[in-house]
Structure 1
């Protein structure tokens, strides 16, 4: 019974490449999936389409991705890593007067990243991928939330909070909900919905944060 559970679990996740050659093939398949998703919805992109686009055999695709959902999950991981790297981008502290400015900057960068990667919008706001995709998105959110207070506190002297992680978690949920509406209506995150997301998140965080905090 345990072995059957492990097999079912493994079938829901991409197989990690074991060699440089395998890694190159793996990335090539992800690139092909990415190109297909620019014009097609995830439910239109299967393993055979990925194989044809990559110039690979279907068996090669199946080796890494047992189902199309697993291929989409692997691409979703790549995009979430790209979003995570946004926090490492340089911040001109002299241009920031408050935590609100930093929150707006972070959301502008995230919006620009999403809009420049249409497949990311489809995978993360289109409701595709099922349970495993939701779990992956939740883990990503938890990782980002766990570091957000420290990042903000490194730029501004943030107040001591009993549960800052909960505040940022709810803030993330608010932003996702606003941007999901924009994606469903327009296929992108528009400037209007960017501003709506900023306003909603800042209004919520003002329940817990002072209007002004001194620079660190």
Structure 2
């Protein structure tokens, strides 16, 4: 794992452990490698006023994205919504894509935080845990549709070249593997996490189709995601994994 991934991982942990939402955002955006992607130099403002302005810009973009296509939202519109002069906004984000990149990063951490609350102890079989995990993802998207929009919308700025996206995928896969390994005797073959990553990609692909057709994850496509991912994993995992003694 390279240095960028290690530093982002440390900030993810700090984000999750912090009780104050504003502090979480500040920790991630000021100290993480993401900051270097968004602005060539470290964020200039770490004062209370600076933190408040950065938060207003993020929340302004989020509010506008609730009713508009992300691709149609301009930096000027976000500044007007946030009540921040455009000249000041450049101290925090060089362009509108950087704002939505930051929002997507923060959303991904939020999603990880929620998924950690899904425990395998409630399920006798691995299939039940994975189904619950996928269902919880859809609940997250239903509760905050901008999270799904930033991931699946056709007009979302292209984030695929940014290493943080790949890293977050691996964070989800690692969470699933650790949870399964805590509860069950998981087969110890070398590429088990690659198998889980493919299953995760299957779910994402089906969710993408659903969102682009219906602007949400429908029950039909939720069932398809459950069926397809579990069918794939059955090629590698036995129908019933032995449970570990507690």
Band of TM-score, shorter chain: 0.7 to 0.9
**1:120 equivalent in structure 2:** 147
Indicate the residue corresponding to 1:84 in structure 2: 112
Instruction: State the alpha-carbon separation in 2 of the partners of residues 143 and 19 from structure 1.
Output: 31
Q: Distance in 2 between matches of 1:161 and 1:129?
A: 37
Displacement of 1:100: 0.4
Paired position in structure 2 for 1:4: none
CA contact (8 A) 1:37 1:45 kept: yes
Distance in 2, matches of 1:149 and 1:10, equals: 29
Greater displacement, 20-29 / 206-215:
20-29
| RMSD after superposition | 2.1
Say if 1:12 and 1:66, in contact at 8 Å, map to a contact too: no
| Structure 2 counterparts to residues 1-216 of structure 1, below 5 A | 12-13=37-38, 16=43, 17-89=45-117, 91=119, 93-94=121-122, 96-127=123-154, 128-131=156-159, 135-216=163-244
Give the TM-score normalised by the residue count of structure 2: 0.77
Closer, same or farther in 2 for the Cα pair 1:133/1:113, shift >3 Å? farther
Distance 1:164 1:98 in 2: 17
TM-score by length of 1: 0.88
Q: Distance in 2 between matches of 1:123 and 1:200?
A: 24
Cα distance between partner residues in 2 of 1:160 and 1:45: 48
Question: Bigger CA drift: 131-140 or 20-29?
Answer: 131-140
Structure 1: give runs of 5+ residues left out of the alignment: 1-8
Extract unaligned runs of 5+ from structure 2: 1-33
